Structure formats: structure tokens, C-alpha cells
Amino acid sequence: MNIKWFFFIFFCLGVIFLSFFIGPTGFIPPGGLGKAIIWEIRAPRVMLAAFCGAMLAASGASLQAIFRNPLVDPYLLGLSSGGALGCALSVAFFPWLPVPLAAFLGASLAAFLTYSLARLEGSASRLALILSGVIVSAFLMAIVSLIKFLLDPHRMSEVVLWMMGSFALARWETVKTTVPFMCVGAAVLVALRHRLNVLSLSEEEAKSLGVSVGRERVLIISAVTLGVGATVAAAGIIGWVGLMVPHLVRLSFGPENERVLPASLLAGAAVLVAADTLARSVSSFDLPVGILTAILGVPFFVYLLRKARGEWP
């Protein structure tokens, strides 16, 4: 077991470390600019991708546990769209509102809407939750499109990049303003990792085991909302990482959340950093990483559906 963890940690950190040295200009950029390129351009970008990946994966793992639903992730529940709406509103109409805060408020609104909509069906079942996530997401994105339409074209490019999910605008300044929020969100989730197992039971069973289910669920959703809001503020909407990574982690570490959560943090960081490195080095264009994760994510979703054939209501 320990050897497995050792290799896992070594591999993840190795991927992140190597990413500092990969880019369109080669392993070590030529000329005296090398240091500046690595430190001023690549380093903040890799750091931001690592923190966002970690936060998204940990959020996905926690949400999957508390909703007993392997298909849930921050993107599918509409949290990312809510965050995007917050960002767009802040850029377009309320420049005095800090973008991470706006993203958090937007994501909170989305969480509230999705959950209350799913509750209408009765018990917020797996299917109801996914459906209401899709509906809320579509609704919020429509408003974002409306804002885009109203916005003058010069400022629009920024919003467009956001909606595709990209680290192209990552600077040390972005790292400073968003990463602390992600750290708080992730720290809460990690602190509650032992509790996630019992929270993944039905509400009644968890209650009969002495757990204040409602209160603890709200705590977890708030932590996820805070952290995911910050990732949206940092890099826009990046889907599928939160869905894929916890599944891959469970395949090798088992479903126990006290292991899934820390492993998801690391694996999420490594996966998103690798995806972003691929996106920025594969061509001379700086592709938005959100496009890449979505292209990888859809076949994965199909695989999950096939694997679970008939098991899900």
C-alpha cells in the first residue's frame, strides 16, 4: 500500500515539475529569456492549473459521495456556469466587485437553484439532480450569452475565453487572488474526508448513525462552492476533471473517501497540469484547456454509462 502511494505521489509531482520545462519554445527556452519565461509565464500558469485541478477533483469526489451519485461533478451541477455568470456580471456591469467573490456568489446561486429544483421531485434522486443541474446550467449560460451580446466587443474576448476554460491569462496576480479561496475550500473537504463515507449513506441511515446530515451536507456544498467559484474566476469553466479524476482514483485506491480525497487532490492537479501543458504546446496556438478536457471527458462518460448498465435508477 505504501509503495503504491509513494509511486503515485512521485508520479504526480513529477508531471507537475516537468511541466515547468515544456512549452512551445522547447525544454529550456533559448537565450537569456529562459528564466523569465519559466518564472513569469509558465510558473504561475502551472501553479494555477495544479490548484484548480486539485480543487475540481476534490469537489467532484465530495459531491459524488454526498449525493451517492457517480455522475455528479461541479460542472454538471451547474456550479461552473453559476461561477461564469458571476464573472461575466462583474466584468460587464459591476467592476467594483472582485471577480472571485462574484464567482462565488454565482456558484452559490447555482447550487441553491439546482438543489431546490431537484427537491421538487421529492428526494433529490440521482436522475433529478442531473436533470436540474443541466437545466440550471442552460439557464445560467443563456444569461451569460445575453451579457455577452450586450457587452462591447473589446471586452467580450475576455468573457469568451472564460467560458471555454483557459489558463492563458494566468499571472502571479491571478494566483494570489484566487488560490487562497481554493485552499480554504479544499482544506474543509480534506478535514471532513473521514465523514464522507457515512454521509454517502441514505439520509435516514446517516441520521440513525448520529450524523446531522443536513448541516454537514451544507458545509461540504459551501466549501465546494467557494473553491469552484475561485477556479472559475481563475480559469473559467473547466468541465470533466471533477468527474473523471475521482473515478480513476477509486479504481486504484478503492472507494474509501479518506483515501479518495487526498489522492484526488494530487491526481487532479497532475491531470489538469498535463492537459494544460498539452494544450499550450501541441500547436502554436494556445488552445483553451477546457476544450481538451471536454473532448477527453465525453468518451469517459460513455464508458461510465456502459459499465454501470442497469445499475442506476
Partner 1 sequence: MLRVNALSYKHILKEISFTVKKGEIVAILGPNGAGKTTLFRCLMRLLKPSKGNVYLKEKPLSAYQTKELARVAAYCPQSPKVGFDYQVRTVVLMGRSPYLSPLNAPSAKDFAVVEKAMETLGIKALAERPLHTLSGGQQRLVFLARALAQEAELIFLDEPTAHLDLKHQIHVLQKIKDLAREKGLTFVMNLHDPNMALAYAGRILLLKAGRLIGELSAKDEKLKKALEELYEIEFSLCSLENKLFVFPRI
* 43 part of the interface to partner 1, by CB under 8 A: no
Residue pointed to by grid coordinates 462565488: 104
Query: Residue from 252, 256, 303, 305 that binds partner 1 (CB under 8 A)?
Result: 256
Dist. CA 110–CA 87, nearest whole Å: 13
45-76 as b/e: b if 16+ CB within 10 A = bbbbbbbbbbbbbbbbbbbbbbbebbbbbbbb
* Nearest one of 287, 178, 191 to 228, comparing CA atoms: 178
Min separation Cβ 109 and partner 1, Å: 26
* 173 part of the interface to partner 1, by CB under 8 A: no
Min separation Cβ 191 and partner 1, Å: 5
Dist. CA 286–CA 281, nearest whole Å: 8
Query: Residue from 69, 108, 137, 264 that binds partner 1 (CB under 8 A)?
Result: 69
Query: Residue from 32, 122, 210, 299 that binds partner 1 (CB under 8 A)?
Result: 210
Q: Distances in Å between the alpha carbon of 262 and those of 9, 207, 218? A: 10, 26, 21
Binders of partner 1 among residues 269 to 308 (CB under 8 A) are none
Dist. CA 233–CA 46, nearest whole Å: 16
Binders of partner 1 among residues 174 to 203 (CB under 8 A) are 191-192, 194-195, 197-198, 200-202
Which of 45/195 has CB closer to partner 1? Answer: 195
* Size of site (CB under 8 A) for partner 1: 29
Residues lying near partner 1 in the complex (CB under 8 A) are found at 65, 68-70, 191-192, 194-195, 197-198, 200-202, 204-212, 216, 219, 250, 254-256, 258
